[in-house]
Structures are given as structure tokens and as C-alpha cells.
Amino acid sequence: MNLGLTISFIIGGMLMIAIVTLNTRMGQHSADITMHTMSQNHVSNISDIVEFDFQKIGYNVQEPIAGAIQVADENEIRFQSNLNNNPAETVNTVTWRLGTDVIAGSPNPRHRTLTRIVDGDTQDINVGVTRFELRYFVPGNHNPLPFPIDASTREDIHRVEVILEVESREGIGRNNQFTTSSWRKVFTPPNLNL
């Protein structure tokens, strides 16, 4: 047997293993970036709608502003607002709620349905939301209100913090990890601070 030929096969085999390993890692990294970009896009789209609604809490509400927020819970808020600033339009009732059930058919066991309801018109958001948490603040207190929040305390709410997390649909890698994108914002609607 030729010693030079044997050494060439060994070196060629090692190079082939190195190339396959590099290719696998690059593919895995590319998939991770793609999943993360998708979850970031979902967070961005959802946060645009949340910002549109939450800045207008209590806007053009003719009754006492104290009734602007009707439900203030950890995963649900219902409030009144004239969302589109239409003088002929009556005040809208807007609800945001995170469901408790896992989305059927999703490989990610933490996916929930985020629901937006405007005057009974329901819009389900099923793009990987795993967390939609709300915190409420009253003037002079930097700590969020404890739950449940009663009606008299709801009247004093002047800031609302929203925490949103979206995870990828598919897991990445050997550990089947889901990429997460987060968004957090504190809203101080002008109509709650009159």
C-alpha cells in the first residue's frame, strides 16, 4: 500500500469533515437569524397597533374621564376612546387580552392568542405572542398597582406599562430553543392626566 496515498485520504477526510461542520453551523446560524428577524417584525407590527390604541385612552370621552378604563388586569385592559378622531363617531370600546390557551398546531408550547376587540369587532393576533403583561401606575407611586384593581383605584390610573414578547414558531438547534423578541413601553395618555 502506498503511504502517500493513505496520508492524502486521511487529510482529505479531515478537510471534508471540517467543511461539513462549518456548513452545518452556518446553516444553523442563518436559521437563527431568520427566526429572530421574523419575531422582531412581529413585535414591531403588534407594537405599532398597541401604540396607536394606548396613546388615545380616554380621548374624546364625554362622560367623566374616570370611566375611561373599564377593566385593568394583568393580561387584559378595556378602555374607551375615539380612536379615529371622527367627530361623528361615537366613543369606541377597546379591549386587549392575552388568551390562556395554547394555539393549536403550534410547535411552540408557549404561543398564545392576543386579541384586540374594538366595539365587538375581534382581531386575533396569532404570530407567536408568549407574553402580554400590563402594569398600572397612579400619581406619586413608582410601584405598579397590585391586582385585582378595584373601580375606585382604576379612576386614578395615569400610566400603563405594556410588556410584549414574541417567540419563534420553530425551535433552533439541538436544544430546540426558541428565539425571543421583546418590547416594553410606558404610556402616559394625555387624557388620563388632565
State which residues form the domain around 184: 12-16+25-192
Q: What is the pLDDT of residue 153?
A: 86
Q: What is the pLDDT of residue 64?
A: 57
Residue 4 in any domain: the answer is no
Q: Which residues contact 4 (CB under 8 A, 6 or more apart)?
A: none
Residue 7 in any domain: the answer is no
Q: How many domains does the chain have?
A: 1
Can you give the pTM of this predicted structure?
0.80
CA distances from 79 to 27, 45, 60, 75, 122 (A): 46, 21, 12, 14, 15
pLDDT, one tens digit per residue, over 116-151 is 999 999 999 988 899 999 999 998 888 999 988 888
Q: What is the pLDDT of residue 173?
A: 63
Q: Which residues of the chain have pLDDT under 50?
A: none
